[in-house]
């Protein structure tokens, strides 16, 4: 990959997905390029709903990426730094651009879909996106396609929780309707930034769900270097869950961010022990 494209992808990750940015920096030099390119693509796709005023504008952005991947060849010049980085990365790694289309389709569907009817629907959506992302990364990194899925699902649930303040501010309902009924959560309270006890109990249940999924995958020693670095961002799940579990924490008003030095220490420890 051309150095300027690699730097651009790193900068996008630094701004939009700092966890993956730190993880890429800790990866072996020969593995940084594919991780940075795919990470920058996903960061851009995840950021689209936060940068548009209505779903149709987001769909236009998603369609641009869909068209770009469908038309991509080894000699393409898409005119976009992340897309150019993907040209440099995908064909060398033996991955077809069409393999990344589900990343777009799943996110596009979430932008205009009705709220999740059940918690199972939410988890299924997270699982689908995680599997596509995991398979793409491991295809480029020559790793197993079955490792670590539970930890990555936990990471996906945590990412969903961290997006709730933005979704509520945009008056988009992103919580499962079954839990909202169980805990008597009024969406108008959320949209107004009011976190009543029922809302906090609902968030606690999703936290517990993420914690249980993480435990299913944690504790196993990961010796394959490629797999270790693909899974590395998920090792930060416990840090976010602990922060959200604080008695006085208010998801709608308090930042979920964990200081960078704590995340770095956690990542380094996992790399040293090869245990999550």
Q: DSSP code of 234?
A: G
Distance CA 154, CA 214 (A): 5
What does the pLDDT look like over 19-71, one tens digit per residue?
A: 999 999 999 898 899 999 999 999 999 999 888 888 899 999 999 999 999 99
Q: What percent of the chain has pLDDT over 70?
A: 97
Distance CA 150, CA 235 (A): 12
Q: From residue 27, give the alpha-carbon distance in Å to each of 21, 24, 45, 168.
A: 10, 5, 23, 35
Element (H, E) at 107: helix 101-112
What does the pLDDT look like over 116-150, one tens digit per residue?
A: 999 999 999 999 999 999 989 888 876 655 567 89
pLDDT of residue 48: 93
What does the pLDDT look like over 184-204, one tens digit per residue?
A: 999 999 999 999 999 999 999
Q: Contact 176/124 with Cβ under 8 angstroms?
A: no
Kindly list the structural domains of the chain, giving each domain's residue range(s) and its CATH number in brackets, ordered by start: 1-96 (no CATH), 114-276 (1.10.600.10)
Distance CA 54, CA 188 (A): 19
pLDDT of residue 52: 86
Banded pLDDT at 225 (limits 50, 70, 90): confident
**Averaged pLDDT of the chain:** 93
Distance CA 273, CA 109 (A): 39
Nearest alpha-carbon partner for 2 in 25, 36, 42, 39: 36
């Amino acid at each position: 990959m051309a150095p300027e494209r690699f730097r651009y992808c790193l900068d996008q990750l630094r701004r939009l997905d700092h966890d993956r940015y730190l993880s890429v920096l800790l990866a072996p030099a020969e593995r940084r390029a594919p991780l940075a390119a795919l990470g920058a693509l996903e960061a851009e796709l995840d950021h689209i709903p936060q940068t548009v005023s209505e779903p149709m504008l987001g769909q236009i952005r998603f369609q641009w990426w869909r068209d770009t991947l469908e038309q991509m060849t080894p000699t393409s010049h898409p005119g976009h730094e992340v897309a150019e980085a993907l040209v440099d990365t995908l064909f060398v790694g033996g991955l077809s651009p069409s393999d990344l289309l589900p990343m777009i389709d799943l996110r596009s569907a979430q932008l205009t879909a009705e709220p999740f009817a059940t918690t199972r629907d939410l988890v299924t959506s997270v699982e689908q996106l995680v599997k596509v992302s995991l398979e793409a990364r491991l295809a480029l990194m020559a790793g197993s396609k079955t490792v670590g899925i539970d930890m990555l699902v936990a990471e996906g649930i945590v990412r969903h929780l961290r997006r709730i303040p933005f979704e509520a501010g945009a008056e988009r309902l992103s919580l499962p309707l079954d839990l909202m009924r169980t805990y008597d959560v009024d969406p108008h309270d959320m949209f107004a930034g009011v976190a009543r006890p029922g809302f906090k109990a609902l968030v606690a249940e999703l936290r517990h769900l993420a914690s249980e999924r993480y435990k299913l995958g944690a504790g196993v020693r990961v010796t394959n270097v490629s797999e270790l670095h693909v899974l590395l961002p998920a090792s930060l799940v416990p840090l976010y869950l602990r922060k959200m579990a604080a008695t006085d924490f208010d998801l709608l008003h308090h930042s979920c961010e964990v200081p960078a030095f704590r995340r770095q220490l956690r990542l380094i420890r996992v790399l040293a022990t090869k245990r999550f």
